[in-house]
Structure 1
Amino acid sequence: MPVNLNRRQALAAGALTAGALAASSFGSSRPLFANEGAAIKLPKGKAEHCIFLWLGGGAGQIDTWDPKAQGDPTAKKAGSMYKAIDTAVAGTQVCEFLSRSATVLDRMNIVRSVHHEVIDEHAAATNRVHTGRPTAGTVVYPSIGSIVAHERGAAGEGVPAYVLIGYPNVTRGPGFLGAKHSYIYLTDTKSGPVGLSRPPEITSERQARREKLLAEVRQHYSAAKTDETIKNYDATIEEMLKLAGPNFGKVFALENEADTLRNRYGGEFGQRCLLARRLCQSGVRFVEVSHNLNFLNGTGWDVHNDGMLKQHDLITELDHALATLVEDLEQQKMLDKTLIVVATEFGRPAGFDGGGGRGHHSKSYSMVLAGGGLKNGLTIGSTDELAMKIVDRPVSIPDFHATICWSLGIDPHKELYAGDRPVPITDGGHPIAELFA
């Protein structure tokens, strides 16, 4: 049976019941294996870490993970920009510039039927994918990284639970969970967390005096513990002091890795992926690495007009780093306990714009899950001949979040609290059941 599952094949294999089949109709975010509010009847995930690779700008599914017949931007013929190649998963092809990832696709899963309704706004779509919800006027929702940090905490001593190597903003933040569950932000791989280190002139004695003064300030404001600003500041200071020691700094010594491995990872983005592996080894629970940092084509993944001309460079850079990360984690015996997520805010339409690029498309696009103890080597969902419409097995953003949570042993239906208001971890999402069978 091909691994690209459709409903008929899954039913024949005994994976779905007739009732679940009806529940999976396109346009519904209802679960395949559970009723709304019911307990999840799936083996609980065993992943301990998550590396979240963010393709900011909107990576086009038709030019990466869901290739179709080739088009022609000059003739305005809709279709893929590049040729498709076979992979380690029978029946599944990817873009020719994902050649290294193609060889390890049996350790990965392509989800080709992700969808949401935000099309025109990059910021709103980025928020949707990071928080799993639309923005609200009364509540600032936490990001998936902060949820994991809140629920699992750090897996080691003297390290943060959540590290961001990319662009800090509210979409990656803790929302109503508070600063304690926010990220440590890193600017590059060379200097390490310089903001966490004491300046040379601050001796241990001076630091001790400062901490004594801080303790007095805390005592003075002890009666004002309901003040969120003070509480968040206090939590941030406490976290920074924990991380200022030498142990966390050693994680950033990438020069201790073999040159052959560093070369396989590639440039700055690849080195950030290598750092992400080292951070997970140290006990960091969730690491986000942004891949729009170099803007190799002038626009990143936002390939309107001439941005399309060097999109293949972005894809190649992603390919080298991702494939090496999978192989490296496997060699370190960490792949089964480290979930890799390749995510983006939306995809791209099959047609070309006036300048030869592509617009935005959120009704059907692809994201990837790898390792993490999942049943890997599957291709979830399918799209029509131009990757514009979902043909089978739609996966909502809440479902995608629920899958990440469940793989990390987090109940996606658990309620957190924004003040007195109960807020479920996901907005009615349910794990992609096939990945846990």
Structure 2
Amino acid sequence: MLTRRDLLKHTSAGFGYLAMAGMSASQQSIGTEVESSKSPLSPKQPHFAARAKRVIFLCMQGGPSHVDTFDYKPQLLRDHGKQGKYGGALLKSPWQFRQRGESGLWISDLFSEVARHADDMCLIRSMHCDQPVHPAAMTQMHTGTAQFVRPSLGSWTLYGLGTENASLPGFVSLSPPAGSSRNFSSAFLPAIYGGTKVGRIGGRANQFARFGPGQTPSVPDIKNPRLTDQQQRRQLNFIQQLNRSQMPAEESRNVDGVIQSYELAFRMQNAMPELMDLSQEDEKTLAMYGATGGETETFGKQCLLARRFAEAGVRFIEISHGNWDQHTRLTDDHQARATACDRPIAGLLQDLKQRGMLEDTLVIWGGEFGRTPSAQNGDGRNHNNKGYTLWMAGGGVKGGYSYGSTDEHGFESVENPCHVHDWHATVLHLLGLDHTQLTYRYAGRDFRLTDVYGNVVRDIIA
């Protein structure tokens, strides 16, 4: 006779790592809205009228150099070789900057394809954070703190707004790097608000890299071949009944997270493969993303999937790309990183715009910090958390706009400094959420993404 523990073990085996988020118990297909008012992920009204309905976050891990990409410093060019403010010889950018679009934003040749969308981009050139090392800075970028385990930006978004599709997770993290679970974790928020990771973590390559032209990424372990859909449905119903009858009321929220994650995985068996089938896209679209082969194929497919997820109602999509950590070989390796993602990002912006989605989709590009204007190891740059650039497009931000600045060489923010807390407050504001009201009570106190800090950067809002 099977015990309750055995039932849980065998039922969950077919779902694998997809049991990261949750939905209501109703079975629905791609494109259907969440209807059950009992579901914690039913769509919720924002605090005020939102400018953006969803977020696509292009996370550049490793710290791309702002003075080589989006922060033009002519004085750095003139002072090349001189002693820098914090030691080391100043290093001019190997790439030429040009004014782009009608707005005349200065963008380097590293991102010549993205630069075609300059008039849709809002450059925040005065970003700064508290941490000069990768793990801590990346965690602060995602959760607002580097010291404690806290919910991520995507989880707070899902908690505040719910989702628009009952058959898909509301928060998806595409190919997150190894050891990055805190960056898409729900922490002390209910587990159903955590991110669903899609793509292999760890190893030499993520699963997207294994597919050649015409092939499509897939999610492993999404089907249990030993059971029919009807049999799985009956097992899940029975497990729900057991859990809810056995658990004390004060623990029901944690159990609910597990139950809801099984429910979501069950529905994703049909919805997810169809959504991730890129063969449905025409050759022109695949080419626009650079998804047909070469250096751009992997990231191009990820960007195309991000658009498909956004179109299907996913609230928050994050794509990781890197490594941009060039302490040496800056010229070769920054060029290689940019080549791999420049065309796909430009394709994403173009595709969203021509579908009428860019106006209510907030696209974000940035890393955990920038790099020093002074050289390291000859052709390299060190970490710089005192000043760097992040850009956003669509979703209610001003296009063709530059906010804030670093000093003449790009060492630190000097005009309109924008801390990570301010950026978080602004992203939530664009989604219609007041960061001071988006709270969750845990361990006897009210928590929020921005803690007791953060001011909305209203100058960048269209």
Residue pair 2:104, 2:400 contacting (<8 A) in 1 also: no
Corresponding position of 1:275: 305
Looking at structure 2, the residues matched to 125 and 163 of structure 1 have their Cα atoms a distance apart, in angstroms, of: 21
CA deviations on 1:96-142 (whole Å, 9 max, x unpaired) are 121122121111101000001211x2110001110122323xxx211
CA displacement at 1:209 relative to structure 2: 4.0
Q: How does 1:272-351 map to 2 (within 5 A)?
A: 272-292=302-322, 300-306=323-329, 308-351=331-374
Matched, 1:84 2:100: no
Return the TM-score normalized by structure 1.
Answer: 0.82
Residue pair 1:348, 1:358 contacting (<8 A) in 2 also: yes
Corresponding position of 1:238: 263
The secondary structure found in structure 1 opposite 2:399 is coil
Looking at structure 1, the residues matched to 141 and 390 of structure 2 have their Cα atoms a distance apart, in angstroms, of: 11
CA deviations on 1:395-427 (whole Å, 9 max, x unpaired) are 110110111111111111112222431113323
Corresponding position of 2:219: 193
Corresponding position of 1:264: 288
Which structure 2 segments of 5+ residues have no match? 1-46, 82-87, 200-206, 209-215, 291-296
Match of 1:250 among 274, 277, 280: 274
AA at the equivalent of 2:301? Q
Matched, 1:176 2:165: no
Q: How does 1:44-123 map to 2 (within 5 A)?
A: 44-69=49-74, 70=77, 76-119=89-132, 121-123=133-135
Residue pair 1:79, 1:386 contacting (<8 A) in 2 also: no
Corresponding position of 1:424: 448
Give the length in aligned residue pairs.
383
AA at the equivalent of 1:423? F
CA deviations on 1:350-388 (whole Å, 9 max, x unpaired) are 111124211100100000110112222210111222111
CA deviations on 1:195-228 (whole Å, 9 max, x unpaired) are 3x32333223432442244134314433265277
CA deviations on 1:5-26 (whole Å, 9 max, x unpaired) are xxxxxxxxxxxxxxxxxxxxxx
CA displacement at 1:172 relative to structure 2: 1.9
AA at the equivalent of 1:63? D
CA deviations on 1:245-274 (whole Å, 9 max, x unpaired) are x23332111111121221221211121011
CA displacement at 1:52 relative to structure 2: 0.4
Match of 1:142 among 151, 157, 173: 151
Looking at structure 2, the residues matched to 124 and 389 of structure 1 have their Cα atoms a distance apart, in angstroms, of: 19
Residue pair 1:67, 1:80 contacting (<8 A) in 2 also: no
Looking at structure 2, the residues matched to 432 and 318 of structure 1 have their Cα atoms a distance apart, in angstroms, of: 28
> CA 1:172–1:211 in structure 2 vs 1: closer, same or farther (change >3 Å)?
closer
Corresponding position of 2:143: 131
AA at the equivalent of 2:137? A
Residue pair 1:85, 1:99 contacting (<8 A) in 2 also: no
The secondary structure found in structure 2 opposite 1:280 is helix
AA at the equivalent of 2:112? S
Q: How does 1:213-228 map to 2 (within 5 A)?
A: 213-223=238-248, 225-226=250-251
> CA 1:390–1:43 in structure 2 vs 1: closer, same or farther (change >3 Å)?
farther
Residue pair 2:158, 2:193 contacting (<8 A) in 1 also: yes
Deviates more, 1:141-150 or 1:389-398: 389-398
Corresponding position of 2:430: 407
Matched, 1:369 2:363: no
AA at the equivalent of 1:391? V
Corresponding position of 2:24: none
AA at the equivalent of 1:204? D
Looking at structure 2, the residues matched to 223 and 116 of structure 1 have their Cα atoms a distance apart, in angstroms, of: 42
> CA 1:44–1:203 in structure 2 vs 1: closer, same or farther (change >3 Å)?
closer
CA deviations on 1:301-336 (whole Å, 9 max, x unpaired) are 001123542211212322212211111001111000
Looking at structure 1, the residues matched to 61 and 456 of structure 2 have their Cα atoms a distance apart, in angstroms, of: 24
AA at the equivalent of 1:321? P
Match of 1:154 among 154, 160, 163: 163
Residue pair 2:165, 2:312 contacting (<8 A) in 1 also: yes
AA at the equivalent of 2:184? R
Give the RMSD, CA atoms, in angstroms.
Answer: 2.3
Residue pair 1:44, 1:406 contacting (<8 A) in 2 also: no
CA deviations on 1:182-203 (whole Å, 9 max, x unpaired) are 01111145333333x3233322
Match of 1:166 among 171, 175, 183: 175
Match of 1:390 among 394, 399, 413: 413
AA at the equivalent of 1:175? A
Corresponding position of 1:295: none
Deviates more, 1:303-312 or 1:55-64: 303-312
Looking at structure 1, the residues matched to 258 and 111 of structure 2 have their Cα atoms a distance apart, in angstroms, of: 44
AA at the equivalent of 1:170? R
CA displacement at 1:79 relative to structure 2: 2.4
CA displacement at 1:91 relative to structure 2: 4.1
> CA 1:89–1:402 in structure 2 vs 1: closer, same or farther (change >3 Å)?
farther
Which structure 1 segments of 5+ residues have no match? 1-41, 293-299
AA at the equivalent of 2:171? Y
Residue pair 2:404, 2:415 contacting (<8 A) in 1 also: yes
Residue pair 1:45, 1:436 contacting (<8 A) in 2 also: no
> CA 1:208–1:145 in structure 2 vs 1: closer, same or farther (change >3 Å)?
closer
Return the TM-score normalized by structure 2.
Answer: 0.78
CA displacement at 1:392 relative to structure 2: 1.0
> CA 1:289–1:356 in structure 2 vs 1: closer, same or farther (change >3 Å)?
same
> CA 1:205–1:328 in structure 2 vs 1: closer, same or farther (change >3 Å)?
closer
The secondary structure found in structure 1 opposite 2:381 is coil
Looking at structure 2, the residues matched to 43 and 225 of structure 1 have their Cα atoms a distance apart, in angstroms, of: 32
